[in-house]
Structure 1
């Protein structure tokens, strides 16, 4: 990793022996690895922590690998996903890719090939690191513009940008007003400043860009 932030990886695999071997290999290569032995645990980790790459077995207890990937994609989790499977038909591969996987590797596989595929996914993640998806649109971190679904660029003020960036970085998370005030604004400011800037962003980008979760706060919407 040459001094950079290590890539974070979520491994969802119910074969304990294989999971241990993969974890040992990936940690040796510099990854920070979290493990889950079933789909439900994998879903929880995928929704509550930030990963660069997901390695997910096709056949999992509690929640199937296809359903897991599809649910993560439905919550706009952007991490690249590699699906492991013993099912090798073209239909199975198509199903995995249609569910939202970025790559598909048949069991048994060579560890060197798995590592190479994960590195390739990490490079793709790095290439898109300056963009946060917001529905059909995006937030460009340089030059700090919002881009609508039709390609229209909308310039944002520094605080508008930072508020939207915080929400877009964790699209499935509901953020309280107190948390957003702490992370984006001077804590001495009135709590209503968060509502004011939500209003500004909705006026520029449309009401759907930020969703109000009544009694809790705000979460990302779409463009």
Structure 2
């Protein structure tokens, strides 16, 4: 997943208390973010500014949002997308998302979950601008999906790779199991499942590189 250097966020959600709360939360953190409320406005805003990230409700008023999403992907391929969808439209939406570049969030969502997902995407975008991330003796080529540790190639599953990317996005900080679950699976996953994949990842990149902070989460060490 890669977000271009433009870190402006376009928030295409219905004007509800939840969307207003997301705007307030991110603006208080200094995030450049602007709201739009229909599909035509989405296309106009993307064409005029080409934001780094688009949060798009698939049931937003206006044109069919599947067509809006396709137009954004065609006209502005560097814009990453978080699509907000009801569960019954999830299966159809997945076929339209572009691998690691796009993401989705089921509705109803928690305000802090969407805000955290947006922050994570922006941090990943900064980290992977040059497609190669180096963290101590760990190197990740995000374009090729290649990982090396101490100069040796390591083969990760897609889920293990996604978890490593989530840890890299917040390296040096404690990441809670809930936040990892949200970043990797895009929906609720148990703390036990997160722990299982942390264990898998430790076996491949070195147990000492992922430190457990009891009661809080995990830290990626250099």
**With structure 2 as the length reference, what TM-score do the two structures score?**
0.50
Q: Which has the larger radius of gyration?
A: 1
**With structure 1 as the length reference, what TM-score do the two structures score?**
0.49
